[in-house]
Amino acid sequence: MSRSETRPVVLLRSTAGTGHTYVTRKNRRNHPDRLELRKFDPAARRHVMFREAR
C-alpha cells in the first residue's frame, strides 16, 4: 500500500456556511469515516465544526 492511499489529503469545510476550508491529511486505516474537527473560522470569527468534504 502506497503512502498516498494510506494518508489521503482531505478538505475540511466549515459548517457555518462561510465557505472557509482547511486542507489536512488523515489516516484512512484508523479513521475510515468522515473527519470532523472543531477549528477557527476567520470569516465567522469563532470556532465551528469543520467536516470532511468529498
The answer to whether residues 7 and 31 touch, using CB atoms and an 8 Å cutoff, is no
Domains of the chain: 3-53 (2.20.28.120)
Cell numbers at 14, concatenated: 466549515
pLDDT of 4 reads: 64
Q: Residues 7-34: pLDDT tens digits?
A: 999 999 999 999 999 999 999 999 999 9
Reported for 21-25, long-range contacts at CB under 8 A and 24+ positions apart, including other chains, are: 21/50, 21/53, 22/50
Q: Given a cut of 90, is residue 6 above it in pLDDT? A: no
